[in-house]
Amino acid sequence: MSARPVLAALAASLAAVVVVGGCTSTATPQGAPGQPGPITVSASDTACDLSSATAPAGTISFTIRNAGSKVTEFYVYGAGDRIIGEVENIGPGLTRPLTVEVPQGGTYTTACKPGMVGDGIRAPFTVTGNAAAAVEGDAALAAAVQGYQRYTTSQTEALVAKTGEFTEAIKRGDVPAAQALYPVSRTYWERIEPVAESFGDIDPKIDGREDDERDPGVEFTGYHRLEKDLWVTGLQPDSAAMADRLMADVRDLQGRVGTVSLTPLQLANGAKELLDEVATGKVTGEEDRYSHTDLWDFRANVDGSQAAVAALRPVIDQRDPVLGQTLDQRFAALDALLENYRSGDGFKLYTELTPDDTKKMTEAVDGVSEPVSQVAGIIAA
Amino acid sequence: MLGNALIGLREGLEASLVVSILVAFLVQTDRRRELPRVWLGVGAAIAVSIGVVLVLTLTEQALTFEAQEAFGGGLSIIAVGFVTWMIFWMRKAARSISSELRGGLEKAIAMGPVAVVVMAALAVGREGLETAIFFFAAVQAAGSTTGPLIGFLIGIAVSVVIAYLIYRGALSLNMGRFFSVTGVLLVFVAAGILAYGVHDLQEAGILPGLYTLAFDVSDAVPADSWYGTLLKGVFNFSPQTTVLEAVVWVAYVAVVLTLFLRPVRRAVPPRSDAPAASAV
């Protein structure tokens, strides 16, 4: 093998690294309002002055000029000092560029390190907005769906594990253990209920109530049937079989969750449905009528709603900057209210609540429901 | 001026040290005809580095930070593989000499011409991109101040002189000593390159533990001092070393140095070999 192919191979591999490795444009965006070119950083042995301490999310360019006598470095840090970008070896008298991609708004840190040591001369740097605007709307929506699907997958895994413990306790006849596990295992179910309901036939089997309408020959099965055994009638001869059926249905759900493809609109509607569930089933004490563990489900429904909204948040912020803040405030108020009813690892029983308590809860849920119901309109727009 | 000179010195040493030992080795073993391949590899690395920087500049593109670090770190780790191979290749040569099998030497150290080119190219290329970008910045600044460019070139020149002195010093050793001295030196150089590559990958977020330091002697050995520069340039010693860097450095030296120094086995090995002296 002569040297020429080697050279070609070397050059090709270098070029490949550059192409594959990721480039970022350093061209100044044309006609972008409020973007007068790169941010200049005047670095010296004792100073690190930026021409602007804020920039919109997306591609941010810096030009670092070292007017000092020491070699310096310039860093942009994210949370926990994760390096977003850095330039080393800025010798005295040199000017070097740095271009970083910052898609997420928030507080970052800039630092010059004269003499290349220590934490450097640091200053906070604010990135405004979200670069989702720069991404195509479709890409942002796809990212939202992916993020939420990761959430449902992880919750379903936990659901299978905890329901396994719950049903094992029933089959052992260990009533106290099963009673303790009942609200815990349901938490994972309630967080992803809208996804489960999208399969139509699974929800009645897992979460049906005794007085639901059923086709002739279809039994009352699932969590609430076992709840009745544990708290009202005592374990029945067929409790263990019911436990096995619940487990089979939950596994069936897990198999299907992996294949479901949600739409962004389903996420938005799901967030709203979860809050409706709270209003109709939890605040009324209807859902867990035998065990009175409604507040566990309440908390889980709110969690699920928050997760769906959080996944859609970049798109929401892009299309309506105010709504996100409203959502944050209302969810925070609801969270704070629910915290008042904590008891040990769990919550107070529904029977311990006064009419005044449920009134406050209704108001807080309605407060969240109102902005959440606007999300679907924004997503569909 | 001094700062830029030290940068040139450091980058130059990082690139030229392995090359100077490689050249000394080829000269020592009467293989001068391989030398053009060394310069070909060096030239290719320089040309590609400058070419990439020019293309990026002209197309108004820049490598993302992660890509640049992954590139430098990845090439460093590949370079370690080649240098390690070179270390054992020297050991083989030393054995042939110590057993007075001069005729066998030619065969023992025969290596593909490709390997020579690639090794020289990697030794220079792993730092080539960063150096080319720096050089470009110095050229741009030359419009207002030529200080950085002159300083950088002085640093490069000094590094070439030092590399040449190492080359001459290596040549003045007799064959047997030459192999053991340069081999041990290369073990430490390669360990440094490996740690350096790990640090690059930590900075890029590909490996964890960037802020978990094993030690921090930046007060005693400032990174911008002349001795800090030399330590960095020759052994890639960094005053702030992460635990992961330290672990791979120690592991590499322990394994490779032990293997390199283990006694040459005789034709008929005794049944229970004496354990190799631990080099830790």
**How far is residue A142's CA from residue A136's CA, in Å, rounded to a whole number?**
10
**Tokens at residue B34, please?**
């391989």
Tell me which chain A residues have a C-beta less than 8 angstroms from the C-beta of B126. Answer: none
In a 3-state reduction of DSSP, which class is residue B174?
A: coil
* Residue-wise pLDDT tens digits, A166-196: 999 999 999 999 999 999 999 999 999 888 8
Spell out which residues of chain A touch residue B216, defining contact as CB-CB under 8 Å.
none
DSSP B105-165: HHHHT---HHHHHHHHHHHHHHHHHHHHHHHHHHHHHTTT-SHHHHHHHHHHHHHHHHHHH
Chain A CB contacts of B11 under 8 Å are 89
Residues 236-275 of A with CB under 8 A from B: none
Q: Which stretch of A179-193, B61-75, B77-91 has the lowest confidence by average pLDDT?
A: B61-75
What would the mean pLDDT of A114-135 be, rounded to a whole number?
Answer: 78
Chain B partners within 8 Å of A38 (Cβ): none
* Residue A4 in contact with partner chain B when CB distance is under 8 A: no
In chain B, residues with a C-beta closer than 8 Å to the C-beta of A88 are 130
Give Cα separations from A63 to A47, A51, A52, B171 (angstroms). Answer: 15, 10, 12, 47
Please name which of A74, A73, A71, A78 lies closest in space to residue A93, comparing C-alpha atoms: A71
Q: By C-alpha distance, which of A265, A312, A301, A381 is closest to A147?
A: A312
Among chain A residues, the shortest Cα distance to B36 is held by A3
Name the residue among B1, B64, B211 with its Cβ closest to that of A22: B64
What integer is the mean pLDDT of A304-324? 89
B249 touches A at CB < 8 Å: no
For residue A299, give both structure tokens.
């908390």
Contact partners, residue B58, CB within 8 Å, separation at least 6: none
Best CA proximity match to A111, nearest among A122, A96, A99 = A122
Name every chain B residue with its beta carbon within 8 A of the beta carbon of A25. 60-62
Residue of B7, B63, B205 lying closest to A18 (CB–CB): B63
Q: Taking CA atoms, what residue in A is nearest to B224? A: A115
Which residue among B3, B55, B66 places its CB closest to the CB of A91? B3
Asked if residue B141 has pLDDT above 90, the reply is: no
Domain ranges in chain A are 39-131, 136-380
Q: Is the pTM of this model over 0.75?
A: no
Task: Output the 3-class SS for A289-316.
Answer: CCCCCHHHHHHHHHHHHHHHHHHHHHHH
Beta strands A39-43 and A58-66 are parallel
Q: CB–CB of A94 and B121 under 8 A?
A: no
Record: contact A3-B40, CB cut-off 8 A: yes
For residues B57 and A302, the model is more confident at A302
Q: What angle do CA B140, B142, B145 make, to 5 degrees?
A: 130
Answer whether A92 sits within 8 Å of B60, measured CB to CB: no
Mean pLDDT of A200-221: 87
pLDDT at residue number B30: 80
Determine how many CB atoms are found less than 10 A away from the CB of residue A254.
Answer: 14
CB-CB neighbors (< 8 A) of A98 in chain B: 65
Instruction: Decide if B62 touches A, using CB distance below 8 A.
Output: yes
pLDDT, mean over chain B: 83
Sign of the dihedral defined by the CA atoms of residues A341, A343, A347, A350, in that order = negative
What's the pLDDT at B279? Answer: 39
Q: Which residue of A has its CA nearest to B74?
A: A17
Whether B222 sits inside 8 A of A1 (CB atoms) is no
Q: What CATH number was assigned to the domain covering residues A136-380?
A: 1.20.1420.20
Domain A136-380 in the same topology as domain A39-131 = no
A377 touches chain B (CB under 8 A): no
pLDDT digits (tens, 9 = 90+) for A15-65: 555 444 566 666 654 434 444 578 999 999 999 999 999 988 888 889 999
| C-alpha dihedral sign at B238, B240, B244, B248 | positive
Q: Could you tell me how far CA B191 lies from the centroid of its own chain?
A: 9
In this complex, is the C-beta atom of A100 within 8 Å of any C-beta atom belonging to chain B? yes
Which CATH number describes the domain made up of A39-131? 2.60.40.1930
pLDDT at residue A33, rounded to an integer = 40
- CB contact under 8 Å between B7 and A71, yes or no, is yes
Q: Does B118 touch chain A (CB under 8 A)?
A: yes
CA B264 to chain CA centroid, nearest Å: 26
Residue range B204-246, pLDDT digits in tens: 888 888 888 888 888 888 888 888 888 888 888 988 899 999 9
What is the rounded average pLDDT for all residues in chain A? Answer: 86
Report the distance separating Cα B263 and Cα B266, nearest Å: 9
Say whether residue B101 is in contact with chain A using an 8 A CB cutoff: no
Question: How many beta-carbon pairs under 8 angstroms link A with B?
Answer: 143
| Nearest CB neighbour to B71, from listed A21, A26, A98 | A21
Report the C-alpha gap between A48 and A37 in whole angstroms: 19
Beta strands in chain B (DSSP E): 61-63, 213-216, 240-242
Which chain B residue has its CA at the smallest distance from A87's CA? B65
CB contact under 8 A, A95 and B52: no
The beta-carbon neighbor of B222 closest among A92, A94, A115 is A115
Helical pair B2-28 and B226-235, crossing angle rounded to 10 deg: 40
* Token pair belonging to B76: 């460093």
- State whether A18 and B138 contact (CB < 8 Å): no
B223:A115 CB<8 A: yes
| Cα separation values, B87 from A375, B14, B269, Å | 65, 17, 23
